[in-house]
Structure 1
Amino acid sequence: MAPPPAKLDEFVPHPVKEQFPGIDFCITSPPPWPEAIVLGFQHFLVMLGTTVLIPTILVPQMGGGDEEKARVIQTLLFVAGINTFLQGFFGTRLPAVIGGSFTYLLPTISIILSRRFIFIIDPYVRFVHTMRAIQGALIAASSFQIIVGFFGIWRIVIRFLSPLAAVPIVTLAALGLFYIGFPNLARCVEVGLPALVLLIFFSQVMNISQLIALNDCHSTGTLIAVSRFASATPVPPAIFSRGIGWQGIGILLDGMFGTANGSAASVENAGLLGLTRVGSRRVIHIAACFMLFFSILGKFGALLASIPLPIVAALYCILFAYAGSLRTKFILGFSLFMGLSVPEYFKEYEILAGYGPVHTRSRANC
C-alpha cells in the first residue's frame, strides 16, 4: 500500500537524483577536528584574494598609502569574520563565507572620484574624507537590504529572479572591470607577466574555472549554490529573505568599521565547497576564527599590503576574463553538475523560488 502524500509542513527527503554525488560531509555532519581545521584554513586562504584585491584598487585612489591599505585589509578581515558568524548563526545558517564583494567597486569609485575631493591636496586628509563618505553611503545602503530582507519583500522578488536575468548582468559587470588588469600589469612587466603566465598555467591544470563559474549576481545566487554544494537542500524564499536582512546588517558593520566596501557571499568559497565536497558549517566557522585571529595581527596586514600591484593585476586579467566568459555557461554547467537537463533545472529553480508545483520543505539525506 502506497504511503500517504506528505503534508505541506512535513520534512521529506530529496530523491537521490536531486543530490550531488560524493558529498562527504553536509551541513549537519562535520568532519573530524583535524580535517575541519585544515579545510577552514583553506577557506581562509581562498577569501584572502578578494580581501587584498579590493583595498589594492580603492585605497591608492583614496589617497592612502601602504599603512592605510594594511589597516583596511585588517578591518575587512575582521568584519568578514563577524559577518560570516552572523550569517551562519542567525541568517540563512548555510556554510557561506561573507566577505568583500566586487559588486560595490563601481559605486565606491564614483564616490572617490567625486568633485568635492579633488581640491584636497594632502593625500591622508583626502583618504579620511573619502572614507567617511563611503562609510555614510554604506550605512545608507544597508538600510535598504535590512528593510527588503526582514520585512519579507525579497520573498516576492525572488519569485521573478531567473538565471537568464542574472548572467548578462554579471557578464557585463566583469567585462567593465576587465580593463583594470592589463594597464596595471604593464607598469612592471618583469613581475606581472610571469605572474600572468603562472596563473594561466594553474588555471588550466587545476581547472579553477569551477571556483568561479557560479552565479554571483546576488548573494541569493551564491547561497543557492552553497545550499546545493553543502547538502542539496533547497532553501525556502523566507530563509533567503532573512539572509538578505542579515547581509544588510553586515553592510552596516562595513560602514561603521570602515572597510571601504560592502560585503556579500563569497563565490570563490562556494566553489571550494563543491571541490572539497565538504559543506559543514563547522568548517566555515573555523575559517571565520582564522579571519578574526589574523585581523588583529598588524604584521600580517602589512605583509598582504606589500604584495606588488602587477601581481594583483595579473589576477584581474584571469579572474575577470573567467567571470566575463564562463558566467554564460552557468545554466548548462550547473544543471549538468546537478545531473539535470536544462529544462529540469528551470523546473527545479521554479520549485526553489516558491512558485513551482511543489512547496514542501525538505531535508537532505546525507
Structure 2
Amino acid sequence: MSDTRSSPHPQRNPTRTINQDPDAMPPLSKAIPLGLQHIMAMFAGNVTPPIIIAGVIGANAGEQIFLIQVALFVAGISTLIQTIGIGPIGARLPIVQGTSFGFLPVALPLAKAFGLPAVLGASFVAGLLQVVLGAFLKKIRHWFSPVVTGIVVLLIGITLMPVGLKYAAGGVGSPDFASPTNLLLALFVLVVCIAVHQLGRGFVKASSILFGLLAGYLAAIALGMVDFTNLREASWFALPKPLEYGMEFPLTAIIGMALIMFVVGLETIGNISAITAGGAGRAAKDRELSGGVMADGVATSFAAVFNTLPNTAYAQNVGLITLTGVVSRHVVTIGGLLLIAMGLFPKLGGLVAAMPHAVLGGAGIVMFGMIASAGLKIIQECELDQRAMLIIAVSLSLGIGLPAVEEISETLPGQVGLLLKSGLVPAAVAALLLDALLPGKPRRQRGGEEPSAGEAEKTSAKA
C-alpha cells in the first residue's frame, strides 16, 4: 500500500473523497442514521398509493393493511436490487425504490374498470418491457427531450391534484365528506409541511411530509377521529403472500401501463443523472443508466407478483444525496434492509392504515403539487420557442381536456375510450410524436448524451 503522503493530491479532503465513492462504506454509526433518513424521506410517498388504490377497489381494513405491508417489503427488495445489483441489472448507486404516484393516473381508472388483478397483470408485463427498454437505452435516449419528459411529469401532478383534494375532504363516499373538521385537519397538515420545509434543515427539511403526517395523525387521535380496532386485530409478524389477488391481462390495461412505465422510466434516467452529478460530481455512465432502468423493470414485475403497484426510483432521496454529498450505495442498502423488516410486521401497516383520509389529503396537496412543479422545472431546460410551445399546447390540451369531457371517451370503443379517460396516455403519445416529427428540433436535444472529452476535442479541431 502506498504512503498517502506521497499522493499527487495532498490537499484533497479524504472524507469528501470517501463520500463521493459509491462503493465506500461509512462507519455504521453514520451509515445507519443516514439509511434511516432515506427511509423516512420516502415513507409517506411509498404507503400512500396503496392506500389510495385500496379505496378504489373497495378493500376492507385487513386488505389495506396487507397492501401497505407488501408495499414496504417490495420497496426494500427492489432497493437492494438497485444498490447491490444482479449482473447487468441495477445501477449500483444509492437509489431508493418504492411505489410511485406517477402510475396512479393510469392505475386508478384501470382498477375501476377491470379490478386490481388486471392492474397487477399489466404491471408485470410492463415491467418486463422496461427491462428491454433498459437494455437498449443507449440507442433510444435521443427520443426523450426535456419538453417531452417535462410535459408528462407536469400532467402527472395535474391529474393527481383532485385526488389530493378529495382525500383532504375526507375521502369520496365518507359520511362527513367536505366537513369543516376534515378540511381544517387537512389544512393543519398542509401548514405543518410547509413550515417544516421552510424552517427545517437537512434531515428535518427532507422529512417535512413525514412530520406533517405525524402532526396530523396526533391531532386526529386527539379529536377522536382514529379507530384502532383493525390495528389490534393485525398480526405481529407475517410473510407477504405472492399472487394473493391473481393476475389478469386485458390488452387495454397492458397498453396503458406499458406507456406510463415508459414515461416513468424517463424519471429514473433523470434521477440517476442527478445522483451522479450532485453526489459524485460526474456524469452518469451508460452502464449505470441501463442497469438502473432494467432494475426498475425487474422491481415492477416483482411488485406485481407480490400484489403491489409498480416500483421506481424515488426523486426525494436524490435531494438528500445532493445535500449530504454521501453517495455510498451501502447506506441505502441499510435503508432497504429496514424497509424489508418493516414489511414483515403488519402491525406497522395497521398503524398507517388507521390514519384518516384528511391527513393524507393535506400531505397529498403538497406531494402532488411538487410533481407538477418538477415538470415545469424540466420544461425550462428546453428552449421555449414556437416549436416547443406548440408541442406543449397540444399535449396539455389533450391531457387536461379529455378527462374533463368524459363524453368523448364514452363514445369511443370501450378499450380505446378507457385509454383516453386519464388524458395522460394520449398527451404522452402526442408529445413524443410531435417532438420526433416537427422540423427544427434543437441540435442539443437530438442526441441522448453529451459528447465525450475526446469527441469534443475532435469537434474543436475540425472547427
Question: TM-score per shorter chain, which class?
Answer: 0.7 to 0.9
Alignment correspondent of 2:321: 273
- 1:74 partnered with 2:57: no
Runs of 5+ unmatched residues, structure 1? 1-12, 17-21, 117-129, 334-345, 361-366
**Cα distance change, pair 211–299 in 1 and its aligned pair in 2 (3 A):** closer
**Cα distance change, pair 347–29 in 1 and its aligned pair in 2 (3 A):** farther
Alignment correspondent of 1:191: 185
Alignment correspondent of 2:234: none
Cα RMSD after superposing both structures:
3.1
- 3-state SS of 1:28 partner: coil
- 1:95 partnered with 2:143: no
**Cα distance change, pair 355–46 in 1 and its aligned pair in 2 (3 A):** closer
> Is the CA contact (8 Å cut-off) linking 1:23 and 1:277 kept in structure 2?
no
Larger deviation, residues 266-275 vs 323-332: 323-332
Alignment correspondent of 2:302: 253
Larger deviation, residues 281-290 vs 176-185: 176-185
Alignment correspondent of 2:393: none
1:300 Cα deviation (Å)? 1.0
TM-score by length of 1: 0.76
- 3-state SS of 1:67 partner: helix
**Cα distance change, pair 209–30 in 1 and its aligned pair in 2 (3 A):** closer
1:60 Cα deviation (Å)? 1.1
> Is the CA contact (8 Å cut-off) linking 1:211 and 1:272 kept in structure 2?
no
Q: Give deviations 1:316-336, integer Å, cap 9, x for gaps.
A: 111222222354235879xxx
Q: Distance in 1 between matches of 2:17 and 2:41?
A: 20
Larger RCO, structures 1/2 (Cα 8 Å, 6+ apart) = 1
Alignment correspondent of 1:203: 197
Alignment correspondent of 2:283: 234
- 1:145 partnered with 2:130: yes
Larger Rg: 2
Q: Distance in 2 between matches of 1:299 and 1:160?
A: 45
Q: Give deviations 1:62-105, integer Å, cap 9, x for gaps.
A: 11022211111110111111111111122111110111111211
1:164 Cα deviation (Å)? 3.4
> Is the CA contact (8 Å cut-off) linking 1:236 and 1:354 kept in structure 2?
no
Q: Distance in 1 between matches of 2:17 and 2:358?
A: 38
Q: Distance in 2 between matches of 1:359 and 1:184?
A: 54
1:348 Cα deviation (Å)? 10
Q: Which amino acid aligns with 2:123?
A: L
- 1:46 partnered with 2:27: no
Alignment length, in residue pairs? Answer: 310
Q: Distance in 1 between matches of 2:445 and 2:323?
A: 22
What pairs with 1:1-366 in structure 2 (closer than 5 Å)?
A: 25-26=19-20, 27-90=22-85, 91-114=90-113, 130-150=115-135, 153-187=136-170, 188-206=182-200, 217-259=266-308, 261-330=309-378, 353-354=448-449, 356-358=451-453
Alignment correspondent of 1:9: none
> Is the CA contact (8 Å cut-off) linking 1:230 and 1:279 kept in structure 2?
yes
Runs of 5+ unmatched residues, structure 2? 1-8, 171-181, 210-263, 382-441, 456-463
1:209 Cα deviation (Å)? 8.6
Q: Distance in 2 between matches of 1:277 and 1:327?
A: 25
Larger deviation, residues 184-193 vs 201-210: 201-210
> Is the CA contact (8 Å cut-off) linking 2:146 and 2:379 kept in structure 1?
yes
Q: Give deviations 1:295-315, integer Å, cap 9, x for gaps.
A: 101111111111211111111
Quick one: percent identity of the two aligned structures?
Answer: 26
Q: Give deviations 1:5-48, integer Å, cap 9, x for gaps.
A: xxxxxxxx9xx9xxxxx787121333211111011111111121
Q: Distance in 2 between matches of 1:224 and 1:350?
A: 18
